[in-house]
Amino acid sequence: MIVKQGRKSVFRTPVFVRTAASGALWVLSILGLLLVQAGGAKASQDPSLGDLARMASGGDTGAMVRLGLRYDFGQKGASRNLAKAVSWYRTAARKGDPAAMMLLSQRYEIGRGVPLDDRRALRWLEKSARHGYPPAEDALGDRYAAGQGVPKDDRKAVRWYIRAGSHGYGESQDLLGQRYESGQGVPKNLEKAAMWYLRAARDAGNPDAFARLGYFSEKGLGGLKRSPTDAWFWYSLAKDTSLTARKAQARLDSRLSVAEKTRAWKKKTEFLARYQKGWNRWILRP
């Protein structure tokens, strides 16, 4: 069973439980951690709070979002002020910034700086998704999958996941791989599952996708050739976040020669050099 706990998965048999509310909380908690990290060595390279305020006052919606994030989490010269954060998000959202729309949706969904209001949360989320913002497309898919604020509809959920996945959003890509692997809401199709897992691996460095690609390569599923070397390579990418992948890689150790492991390490190095720079591109920073 795969139970989505926030945005993390525990893999057993492919069944899915994921809610938009847990997704929003996950985003906020992870974002808070990233904002703390962002306040370190690179802080001196960022605009000052005053410069950012002037850019925002001049109509720069990107600056508005960044300024809102600084007040939201009390970062880089700004004292924590949720009212100011929401004000800047709302101004940017009304000017058509989809990231601001998503942030405003999340605040209404959990009552951060505004009264709890799921209808407004849904309205801003739909606006962001219709602007083609992948995190919003993914979250709207979650709502249809869970029936949160909308009628439960697996087909609509999948359509939104496909839109987000086609825009390079790794969470949706991985989830589509899981759905095609299990046949939940879509016809079971291991070739499509492998395709979405590969996209999630390349576009987002998704650990779940790494682990599943390791299994597919080990067993020769989904059109992937059966290759213990490729399986070892994929498992090695997932081992830091998956005990199952770590055990699978250890199991393959005795089957591979030194030359095979060398090839796998080379493939891993080349993969990271080629794709890693594009990962986490949807994370907002102040």
Query: What does the domain layout of the chain look like in residue ranges?
Result: 2-39+47-207
The matching CATH number, chosen from 3.40.50.1110, 3.20.20.80, 1.25.40.10, 3.40.50.1370, for 2-39+47-207 is 1.25.40.10
Q: What is the pLDDT of residue 46?
A: 87
Name the token pair of 66. Answer: 């960044």
170: left (phi over 0), alpha (psi -120 to 50) or beta: alpha
Say yes or no to pLDDT of 234 above 90: yes
Q: How confident is the model at residue 263 (pLDDT cuts 50, 70, 90)?
A: very high
Q: What is the pLDDT of residue 25?
A: 45
Q: What is the pLDDT of residue 259?
A: 97
Sequence-distant (≥ 6) Cβ neighbours of residue 240 within 8 angstroms: 207, 246
The pTM (predicted TM-score) of the whole model is 0.84
96: left (phi over 0), alpha (psi -120 to 50) or beta: left
- Between the alpha carbon of residue 25 and those of residues 5, 29, 30, 107, 218, the distances in Å are 11, 6, 9, 10, 35
74: left (phi over 0), alpha (psi -120 to 50) or beta: left
Say yes or no to pLDDT of 55 above 80: yes
Average pLDDT over residues 120-128: 98
**pLDDT tens readout for residues 208-221:** 999 999 999 999 99
Phi then psi for residue 176, to 5 deg, are -65, -40
**pLDDT tens readout for residues 155-210:** 999 999 999 999 999 999 999 999 999 999 999 999 999 999 999 999 999 999 99
- Between the alpha carbon of residue 78 and those of residues 49, 54, 230, the distances in Å are 7, 14, 48
